[in-house]
Structure 1
Amino acid sequence: MKFPIHCPACDAEMSVVKLCCSSCETEVSGHFKFPTLMRLESEEQEFVIQFLMNSGSLKEMANKMGKSYPTVRNKLDELIAKMKTL
């Protein structure tokens, strides 16, 4: 299950406000932004994982996904552009 990163009421970006240690029960409070990768959609996260698992080979990804190299390249370019705005 993906963490909600946008408010269900107003769609504003949410933040983490408390972290807890399950071992010693230490708590840290504050306002922390979600890491960039967590702010991506599930399919975008999966694309990044596959990119890493294929050693950054878009050709290999295209073969495994059954898509053309330009299609996979365009997806990567879109993802790069999105990450620059997060």
Structure 2
Amino acid sequence: MDRKTAVKRLPTSCPACGGALHVQTLACAECETRIEGAFPLPVFLLLTAGEQQFILDFVACSGSLKEMASRQGLSYPTVRNRLDEIIEHLNTLQHEKYQKNR
């Protein structure tokens, strides 16, 4: 992928200190209305690009690991393990988010 076709990823941590980022301003492209506040990033956006793509593919396969394995040319156990790793990562992220909001 070259620079012109590269997809920009929303940064989730500060490049200066590594702290968590949050959305502060939302803007309408049509009427230029702006809304300001502290909006936390959804947990899904904290996953890696590969994890996000896996979830999108999983939903497109109607949650069928067998179909995922077939489409990706992988074994069922490999796809199952990948899903388990993503579930574990999501649980960790949600636990961390909960701990920060206490």
Give your verdict on TM over 0.5: yes
Matched letter for residue 3 of structure 1? L
- Alignment RMSD: 1.0
Calculate percent identity across the aligned residue pairs. 48
Query: Counterpart of 1:41?
Result: 48
State how far apart, in whole Å, the 2-side matches of 1:26 and 1:65 are.
43
Query: Counterpart of 1:53?
Result: 60
Whether 1:7 and 2:3 are equivalent positions in the alignment is no
Unaligned runs of 5+ in 1: none
State how far apart, in whole Å, the 1-side matches of 2:38 and 2:70 are.
42
Deviations 1:21-55 (A, max 9, x none): 12222111111111121111111110000000001
**TM-score with structure 1 length normalisation?**
0.93
Number of aligned residue pairs: give it.
Answer: 86
Whether 1:28 and 2:27 are equivalent positions in the alignment is no
Runs of 4+ in structure 1 off by over 2 angstroms are none
Query: Counterpart of 1:74?
Result: 81
After alignment, is 72-81 or 23-32 more displaced?
Answer: 23-32
Secondary structure of residue in 1 paired with 2:20: coil
Secondary structure of residue in 1 paired with 2:24: strand
